[in-house]
């Protein structure tokens, strides 16, 4: 270092993220070692140890204490500055081939035994998976049974594409380990030599998760968080594999020193609800190129084609929509209504304004998660050269400014909706007010009058749907439901209801919370000083006020000493802070007699000047440093208190607004995709409901299709080019389409296009077609192109037979199968 022989290990704190990013990109794990005490604290520790009869080796050390404070892996990165917009998930996986570890079913004991025997004969295994997003404090759980070729787990890996996989080093089947090593996303494999067993996992669950399930908390955000923890505990009690996966998560977080940052604030949720989603297998994700092309280029995938989101959160939400399309026609119609409204010619300026406003937002979700993780740090853990407190407080204030900007985006959309449909706005607001009055803790009279008020509001808006409001209501919940129904009926015909829900306040019948009052309340705790720094308001933190007063007193005494030295020396002097704090700088021609009279100790010099300190200055500087350390330490409990107050309303207020803005961003992205698509045109898909009795009766129900006088355009594609002699009923019964043609004639392209149009329709997007009518699909099977897996012992013929076996086993009448050149 600098040509000297002094050993040097370390780098400036400003370069930490640069070096960490280089190490992580190279596939390494990084450990950050920080200094834990000041040299003064070292001297005090050594002096106290020397006076004690028994001294440990650590207390007698001649160097300051240093410890690892942070361990980073591919899936354990918190800083938003080091992350791309996409989610970087860590998968904690627990697998068992023991039938006793299968999830317990709510059936008779005899049926359970028969099912377990059948699964054992088929070679089925059970698994538990915990997908962790450290940057947003979210944990997604999934458990279930899987076949010997890990069909379910392949689908989970294809959708999540984890960057790191944690598993038991000695308990993973060889075939599954080979599968993990050959994943296209090339995750970092982190085997745990001591993966927790069921007993250890139960202890970790009781330590970190179960205490948060308490329903005694009065805050609404705590109750929302406890519901997710209760779901985690309930699922872990049902599935031993999931219990071990959650235990492995807690164990790994302890190893990474993240247990106090992530686990106390983590939110638990299921990966997906398979009953209302289109199931896409890993092979479908790959062959349809949903997330990346066959060459691995994400820009040439379907996601890269439709993604014009302006926010990082919107991009992550669009990806989740794409890998898990919906089957619920009501929700899809509401999305399509919103996209269609944004596509109107008079809304083009609004669409551009939404994009520009959203593009100025940072990654609010990740920044909020980082703030929430600070509520557990009540004392100093390391010595930093940079002012970490000011950096954190300025980032929090900037986050509050972003929330206020989100409120402005929502109000912009509300104003536009009101401008076009004032009657529907009045009806929705009046019905919402009636619902609030009925749901409040009022008497029976308020609950009885709520439906009538909602009906009157709808009648004033000249909407005939007021007759749908019931005349008698049993309680506040029923009254609120009736008022909400009236609002939906009154406004549904005039504007897209989903857009209104995403941008309007609860008082107006929407879901977007009022953020300004909460932001103002939090900002009131921060005092912006003239130098740009942020401090707690006076009287909020007594330790800070006391240390500030002591620092001001020391600085005043130092100024008095400087004035005395100037009078005694008879020349102008000033303080300099180069080698030491508060060095007195004077011309070098000062006499030695004057220096001796001032009791000056020369410390440094520069051309034409020398610098010195006196014993009085040294004593005051020592006191000043102690008070500054006290002032710095007083920020930790203040930040902890501030973040706890932020966390009290986060789930019910700020998190809701983040989701609303993310969904608005996705909807505008779908509208922009429809506007800018280079093809001949985009059309809104018409979604047909499944058979009305199929959902109420058993799964073995076989419906009969009856089509009377249906135009050919609403039949299957095979009837569109049929002759006039072909009957509509016969063509509508066609359930298989055989495509023939020359090489490079577009047969495979047509197969993929069909599946992609189905997926686009079932995320709520317009599709590139002149007309699209479909019943929502429950599964998509793909058998496109020949492939084999030599290392797994699977030939091309065997792979094709396996794909056809899955199709015939799991396919339903609502499934879409694409088979290309089956041997």
Q: What is the pLDDT of residues 9-19, one digit of tens each?
A: 667 778 888 88
**Which CATH number does the domain housing residue 754 bear?**
3.40.50.300
694/814 Cα distance (integer angstroms): 11
Q: Which H or E element spans position 192?
A: strand 188-192
Neighbours of 196 (CB within 10 A): 24
**Which CATH number does the domain housing residue 166 bear?**
3.30.420.110
Among the residue ranges 143-147, 492-496, 596-600, 706-710, the one predicted with the least confidence is 706-710
Q: What is the pTM of this model?
A: 0.82
Pairing mode, strands 779-783 and 583-587: unpaired
Structure tokens at 520: 């103002």
Q: Is residue 194 part of a domain?
A: yes
Pairing mode, strands 526-528 and 583-587: unpaired
372/367 Cα distance (integer angstroms): 9
Residues 546 and 411 in one domain: yes
At 430, the pLDDT band (50, 70, 90 cuts) reads low
Pairing mode, strands 267-270 and 138-146: parallel
Residues 600 and 637 in one domain: yes
Neighbours of 98 (CB within 10 A): 11
Determine phi and psi for 91, rounding to 5 degrees.
Answer: -110, 120
Residues 671 and 684 in one domain: no
Comparing CA positions, the residue from 270, 292, 295, 272 lying closest to residue 282 is 292
At 599, the pLDDT band (50, 70, 90 cuts) reads confident
Comparing CA positions, the residue from 362, 280, 269 lying closest to residue 321 is 280
414/819 Cα distance (integer angstroms): 47
47/59 Cα distance (integer angstroms): 9
At 793, the pLDDT band (50, 70, 90 cuts) reads low
Residues 329 and 240 in one domain: no
Q: Is residue 728 part of a domain?
A: no
Residues 311 and 185 in one domain: no
Contact between 732 and 719 under an 8 Å Cβ cutoff? The reply is yes
Residues 181 and 236 in one domain: yes
Average pLDDT, integer, range 184-213? 91
Neighbours of 574 (CB within 10 A): 11
Strands (E), 231-325: 267-270, 279-280
Residues 510 and 615 in one domain: yes
Flag whether pLDDT at 190 surpasses 50: yes
Query: What is the per-residue pLDDT for 747?
Result: 83
625/623 Cα distance (integer angstroms): 5
Q: Which domain holds residue 140?
A: 87-102+124-214+225-271
Comparing CA positions, the residue from 272, 285, 268, 170 lying closest to residue 225 is 268
Beta bridge partners of 527: 535
The mean of the pLDDT values for the chain is 80
Query: What is the per-residue pLDDT for 340?
Result: 92
DSSP class of residue 651 equals I
Comparing CA positions, the residue from 662, 671, 664, 818 lying closest to residue 755 is 818
Query: What is the per-residue pLDDT for 241?
Result: 93
3-state secondary structure labels for all residues of 231-246: HHHHHHHHCHHHHHHH
Residues 232 and 175 in one domain: yes
- Rounded to 10 degrees, the C-alpha dihedral 304/309/312/314 comes to -110
3-state secondary structure labels for all residues of 31-65: EEEEECCCHHHHHHHHHHHHHCCCCCCCCCCCCCC
Q: Is 683 exposed, middle or buried (0-12, 13-18, 19+ CB in 10 A)?
A: middle
544/282 Cα distance (integer angstroms): 56
Q: Is 807 exposed, middle or buried (0-12, 13-18, 19+ CB in 10 A)?
A: middle
196/243 Cα distance (integer angstroms): 10
Flag whether pLDDT at 221 surpasses 60: no
Flag whether pLDDT at 720 surpasses 60: no
Q: Is residue 713 part of a domain?
A: no
Q: For 680-709, how does the pLDDT look when each residue is reduced to its tens digit (9 = 90+)?
A: 678 999 988 765 444 444 444 444 343 423
Comparing CA positions, the residue from 193, 197, 162 lying closest to residue 180 is 162
Residues 510 and 570 in one domain: yes
Interhelix angle 39-51/615-648, nearest 10 degrees = 100
Query: What is the per-residue pLDDT for 41?
Result: 82
Query: What is the per-residue pLDDT for 459?
Result: 36
Q: Which H or E element spans position 684?
A: none
Residues 639 and 522 in one domain: yes
Contact between 438 and 479 under an 8 Å Cβ cutoff? The reply is yes
771/711 Cα distance (integer angstroms): 13
Using alpha carbons only, give the angle 354, 355, 357 rounded to the nearest 5 degrees: 65
- Rounded to 10 degrees, the C-alpha dihedral 174/177/182/185 comes to 170
Among the residue ranges 204-218, 231-245, 634-648, 712-726, the one predicted with the least confidence is 712-726
Q: Is residue 442 part of a domain?
A: no
Residues 561 and 663 in one domain: yes
147/153 Cα distance (integer angstroms): 9
Contact between 577 and 664 under an 8 Å Cβ cutoff? The reply is no
Determine phi and psi for 697, rounding to 5 degrees.
Answer: -90, -175
DSSP class of residue 789 equals B
Q: For 148-162, how does the pLDDT look when each residue is reduced to its tens digit (9 = 90+)?
A: 778 889 889 999 999
Residues 633 and 685 in one domain: no
Query: How many domains is the chain partitioned into structurally?
Result: 4
HSE on the CB side for 822, CA within 13 Å? 15
Structure tokens at 797: 């013929």
315/321 Cα distance (integer angstroms): 10
Pairing mode, strands 583-587 and 574-576: antiparallel
Structure tokens at 718: 């095979």
Query: What is the per-residue pLDDT for 388?
Result: 84
Q: Is residue 717 part of a domain?
A: no
Q: Is residue 701 part of a domain?
A: no
Q: Is residue 594 part of a domain?
A: yes
Query: What is the per-residue pLDDT for 596?
Result: 86
Q: Which H or E element spans position 109?
A: helix 109-122
Q: Is 170 exposed, middle or buried (0-12, 13-18, 19+ CB in 10 A)?
A: exposed
417/614 Cα distance (integer angstroms): 72
Among the residue ranges 59-73, 221-235, 343-357, the one predicted with the least confidence is 221-235
Determine phi and psi for 55, rounding to 5 degrees.
Answer: -125, 135
Q: For 402-417, how does the pLDDT look when each residue is reduced to its tens digit (9 = 90+)?
A: 999 999 999 999 998 8
Pairing mode, strands 816-819 and 779-783: parallel
Q: Is residue 572 part of a domain?
A: yes
Among the residue ranges 30-34, 515-519, 686-690, 708-712, the one predicted with the least confidence is 708-712
């Amino acid at each position: 270092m600098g040509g000297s022989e002094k050993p040097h290990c370390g780098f400036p704190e400003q370069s930490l993220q640069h070096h960490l990013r280089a190490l992580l990109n190279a596939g390494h794990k990084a450990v950050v070692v920080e200094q834990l005490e000041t040299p003064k604290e070292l001297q005090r520790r050594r002096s106290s140890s020397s006076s004690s009869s028994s001294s440990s080796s650590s207390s007698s050390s001649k160097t300051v204490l240093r410890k690892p404070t942070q361990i980073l892996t591919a899936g354990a990165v918190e800083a938003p500055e080091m992350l791309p917009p996409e989610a970087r998930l860590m998968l904690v996986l627990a697998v068992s081939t023991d039938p006793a570890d299968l999830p317990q079913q709510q059936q008779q004991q005899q049926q359970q035994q028969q099912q377990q025997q059948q699964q054992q004969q088929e070679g089925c295994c059970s698994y538990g998976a915990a997908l962790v997003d450290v940057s947003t404090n979210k944990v997604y759980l999934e458990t279930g049974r899987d076949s010997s070729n890990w069909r379910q787990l392949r689908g989970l890996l294809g959708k999540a594409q984890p960057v790191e996989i944690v598993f038991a080093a000695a308990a993973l089947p060889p075939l599954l380990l080979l599968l993990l090593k050959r994943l296209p996303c090339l995750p970092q494999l982190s085997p745990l030599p001591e993966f927790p067993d069921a007993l250890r996992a139960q202890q970790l669950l009781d330590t970190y998760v179960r205490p948060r399930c308490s329903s005694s908390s009065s805050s609404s955000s705590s109750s929302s968080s406890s519901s997710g923890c209760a779901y985690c505990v309930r699922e872990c009690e049902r599935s031993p594999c999931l219990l071990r996966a959650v235990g492995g998560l807690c164990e790994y977080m302890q190893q990474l020193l993240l247990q106090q940052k992530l686990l106390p604030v983590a939110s638990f949720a299921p990966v997906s609800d398979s009953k209302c989603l289109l199931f896409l297998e890993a092979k479908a994700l790959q062959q349809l190129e949903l997330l990346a092309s066959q060459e691995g280029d994400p820009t040439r995938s379907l996601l890269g084609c439709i993604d014009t989101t302006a926010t990082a959160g919107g991009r992550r939400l669009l990806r989740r929509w794409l890998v898990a399309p919906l089957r619920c026609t009501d929700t899809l119609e509401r999305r399509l209504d919103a996209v269609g409204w944004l596509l109107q010619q008079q809304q083009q300026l609004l669409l551009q304004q939404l994009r520009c406003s959203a593009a100025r937002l940072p990654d609010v979700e990740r920044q909020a998660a980082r703030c929430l993780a600070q509520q557990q740090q009540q004392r100093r853990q390391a010595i930093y050269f940079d002012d970490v407190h000011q950096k954190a407080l300025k980032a929090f204030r900037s986050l509050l400014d972003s929330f206020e900007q989100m409120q402005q985006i929502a109000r912009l959309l509300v104003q536009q909706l009101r401008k076009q449909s004032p009657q529907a706005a009045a009806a929705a607001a009046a019905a919402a007010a009636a619902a609030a009055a009925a749901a409040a803790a009022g008497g029976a009279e308020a609950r009885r009058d709520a439906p009538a008020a909602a009906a009157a509001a709808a009648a004033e808006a000249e909407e005939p749907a007021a007759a749908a409001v019931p005349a008698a209501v049993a309680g506040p919940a029923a009254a609120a439901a009736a008022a909400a129904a009236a609002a939906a009926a009154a406004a549904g015909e005039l504007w897209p209801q989903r857009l209104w829900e995403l941008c309007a306040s609860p008082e107006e019948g929407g879901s977007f919370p009022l953020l300004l009052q909460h932001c103002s309340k939090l900002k009131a705790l921060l005092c912006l000083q003239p130098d740009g720094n942020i401090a707690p308001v006076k009287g909020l933190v007594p330790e800070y006020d006391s240390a500030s007063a002591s620092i001001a007193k020391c600085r005043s005494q130092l100024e008095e000493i400087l004035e005395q030295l100037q009078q005694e020396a008879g020349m102008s002097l000033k303080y300099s802070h180069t080698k030491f704090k508060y060095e007195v700088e004077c011309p070098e021609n000062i006499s030695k007699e004057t220096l001796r009279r001032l009791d000056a100790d020369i410390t440094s010099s520069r051309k034409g000047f020398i610098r010195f300190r006196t014993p009085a200055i040294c004593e005051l500087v020592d006191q000043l440093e102690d008070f500054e350390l006290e002032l710095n330490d007083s920020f930790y409990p203040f930040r902890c208190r501030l973040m706890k107050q932020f966390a009290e309303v986060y789930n019910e207020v700020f998190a809701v607004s983040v989701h609303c803005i993310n969904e608005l961003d996705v909807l505008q992205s779908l509208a922009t995709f429809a506007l800018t698509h280079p093809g001949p045109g985009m059309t809104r898909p018409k979604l047909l409901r499944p058979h009305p009795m199929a959902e109420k009766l058993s799964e073995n129900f076989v419906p009969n299709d009856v089509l009377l006088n249906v135009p050919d355009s609403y039949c299957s594609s095979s009837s569109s080019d049929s002759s006039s002699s072909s009957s509509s009923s016969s063509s509508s019964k066609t359930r298989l389409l055989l495509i023939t043609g020359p090489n490079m004639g577009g047969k495979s392209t047509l197969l993929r296009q069909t599946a992609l149009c189905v997926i686009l329709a079932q995320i709520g997007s317009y599709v590139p077609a002149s007309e699209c009518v479909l019943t929502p699909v429950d599964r998509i099977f793909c058998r496109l192109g020949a492939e084999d897996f030599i290392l797994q012992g699977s030939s091309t013929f065997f792979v094709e037979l396996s794909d056809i076996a899955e199709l015939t086993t799991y396919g339903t009448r609502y499934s879409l199968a694409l088979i290309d050149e089956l041997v």
